[in-house]
């Protein structure tokens, strides 16, 4: 195996995943390392688990098991009751806007997102509203 580039890559990914929870201690850092998180799959999910689905990186904030609750899937209404999208604090970590469901996923001042018009927006104050619903809460950055 010595000198095998694919084995070296697999080893690097393994080591990066081991350190991910220690080094990625903010949502922005987690988004920068989002390629190391797995794609979401049905299963038994626990608080703090992170995964990618639908162009977003998500964090489970309430335990759930798809064997018991099969309707908890990306894009379904129940999804947002158990998972929150991570929000970036830089243009590089901006993700598409996700409508806010509660205090657990509101946009905070200084966070960025990409609105439906393709524009990059920065949140000016904590809000659960979109740029369409409350333009004063957002500024376009591009």
Q: pLDDT-based confidence at 2, cuts 50/70/90?
A: low
Distance CA 72, CA 107 (A): 23
Rounded to whole angstroms, the Cα distance separating 41 from 73 reads 9
Best CA proximity match to 80, nearest among 100, 94, 64, 56: 100
Q: Taking residues 125-129, what's their average pLDDT?
A: 97
Picking from 17-31, 72-86, 94-108, which range would have the lowest pLDDT averaged per residue? 17-31
Q: Which secondary-structure segment (H or E) carries 65?
A: strand 64-65
From the list 82, 107, 109, the residue with the least C-alpha distance to 96 is: 107
Q: Give the pLDDT mean for 91-116.
A: 95
How confident is the prediction for the chain on average, in pLDDT? 92
Q: Is 95 helix (H, G, I), strand (E, B) or coil?
A: strand
Q: What is the pTM of this model?
A: 0.86
Structural domains of the chain, with CATH: 26-140 (2.10.10)
């Amino acid at each position: 195996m010595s000198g095998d580039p694919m084995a070296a890559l697999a080893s690097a990914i393994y080591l990066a995943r081991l350190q991910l929870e220690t080094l990625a201690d903010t949502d922005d850092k987690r988004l920068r390392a989002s390629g190391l998180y797995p794609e979401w799959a049905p299963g038994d999910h626990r608080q703090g688990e992170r995964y990618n689905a639908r162009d977003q990186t998500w964090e489970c904030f309430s335990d759930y098991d798809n064997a018991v609750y099969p309707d908890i899937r990306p894009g379904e209404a129940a999804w947002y009751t158990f998972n929150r999208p991570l929000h970036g604090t830089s243009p590089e970590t901006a993700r598409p806007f996700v409508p806010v469901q509660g205090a657990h996923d509101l946009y905070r001042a200084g966070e960025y997102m990409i609105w439906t018009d393709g524009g990059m927006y920065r949140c000016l104050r904590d809000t659960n509203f979109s740029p369409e619903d409350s333009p004063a809460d957002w500024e376009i950055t591009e």
